[in-house]
Structure 1
C-alpha cells in the first residue's frame, strides 16, 4: 500500500462481474491510476450484479482468483472481495458506505464506463453516491460522456479518463473460449492460464 504524506489519500473503486477480467479493464485501471494520481485502486468483483440478474457466471472464487492474477504486478492495485461474500444482489451504494466508513478522510473515486454514466440514474441511491465520491468516467476516442438529464441537473464531481479504443468484451471472450479460440491477447497470460487450468467457459464440467 502506498501512503501519501501531506494530503488526503486518493482511492479509486473499479467494480464489475469480471467474468472474466480482461485487458480493457486493465487499461482503464492504469489510466485511472495515472490520471487521478491514486494511492490505490480497489478492484471489487461483484457476487450478483443486479444489472445482470439471471445470467450464469463463473464461480465467485474463480472470478476473485482471475482478478488476483491480473493485478499481481501492480502494488497499487488492491483486490477487495467484500461483495463476493455479501448475500443478495450487489449494489454499489452498500459498498461505498462501507468504504467511506473505513476511511472517512480519503478522497474516493468511482471508475465507470460511458455506458454506466449514461444510465447512472438507474443505480440505487445514486444521489447519495454523487455526494460521497467523484465519478471517473472513461472517455473513449475523445467522446465526452453524457449524463442522463436527472444526473446532469445535479451538481456532482466528475473527471474524464481518456481511454484509447479497445474492442474487448467479456461476452466475446466467453464465446471464443467455448469455441476453442485463442484468448491470451484479450485477457493476458496469467488469466488465460487460470481459465485453461480450471476449464472455465468451455461448457464442459470442471475436473
Structure 2
C-alpha cells in the first residue's frame, strides 16, 4: 500500500513573503517528512480587513521568486480569484475534495492556533486536517479533539517590520529571500 502524500497548507497574506515563512515551512518539512508545502496567498484576510495588502499579482510574483529553488514548495493561487475575504475552511474543503487520499495539514503560528476557535467553521478544519503549530516561545497548548504537531524556532522576520522599514527606506534585507527586495523596490511597495 502506497503511503498518503503529506501536504501542508500554508495560508497567509505573504505581504511580503520573508525568510521566516521559508524557515517555518522547512522545519515542518523536516519534522513531519512532508512531501509538499503549499503556499496559499489570500486575497484579503478576514483578520486584516483594515490593512489592504499589496496587489495580488505582485505578492504572487514575490512568492514565485522566493520559492523557485525549493522542490517541496508549491503555490495555490485559488484564493486570489475568489471574492474576499478568504476563509481557510473553504480552501481546506476544496483541497480535501480534490485530493481525498492526501494527508492534509495546516501550518500556523501560535497566535493563529490560539485564535482558531474564532475562525469560520473551525470544526470543519478540525475534521479535514491536522495542524502544525510553529512557536517561538512556549509550546502551544493542546486542544481536545484537534490533531496538533508543535515545531519550534526563533526566526525573527516579520512582514509588518519589513513594511515599516520600506516606508522609511530601510528594508531589513536579511529577512528577505533573494529577489524579493528587488520586487519591493520595483513596484514601490509599502511606501507612504
Measured against the shorter chain, the TM-score band is over 0.9
2:67 to 71, 75, 93: 71
Aligned counterparts of 1:8 and 1:189: Cα–Cα separation in 2: 33
Kept after mapping to 2: 8 A contact 1:138/1:160: yes
Show structure 1 runs of 5+ residues with no match: none
TM-score normalised to the size of structure 2?
A: 0.95
Kept after mapping to 1: 8 A contact 2:139/2:152: no
1:159 to 133, 149, 158: 149
Per-residue deviation, 1:109: 0.6
CA offsets 1:130-177 (integer angstroms, 9 cap, x no match): 111001001324x21125xxxx2x3121101122x1222211111111
Show structure 2 runs of 5+ residues with no match: none
If asked which structure has higher relative contact order (CA below 8 Å, sep 6+), I would say 2
CA offsets 1:91-150 (integer angstroms, 9 cap, x no match): 000000110011001100100000011111001110111111001001324x21125xxx
TM-score normalised to the size of structure 1?
A: 0.89
Task: Please name the residue that 2:161 is paired with.
Answer: 172
Kept after mapping to 1: 8 A contact 2:44/2:52: no
Q: Look at both structures and tell me which one has the larger radius of gyration over its CA atoms.
A: 1
Q: Secondary structure at the match of 1:44?
A: strand
1:145 pairs with 2:140: yes
Task: Please name the residue that 1:187 is paired with.
Answer: 176
1:1-207 alignment, distance < 5 Å: 6-141=2-137, 143-146=138-141, 152=143, 154-163=144-153, 165-203=154-192
Aligned counterparts of 2:67 and 2:102: Cα–Cα separation in 1: 22
Per-residue deviation, 1:85: 0.6
Alpha-carbon RMSD across the aligned residues, in angstroms, is 1.3
Kept after mapping to 1: 8 A contact 2:19/2:177: yes
Provide the aligned length of Structure 1 versus Structure 2. Answer: 192
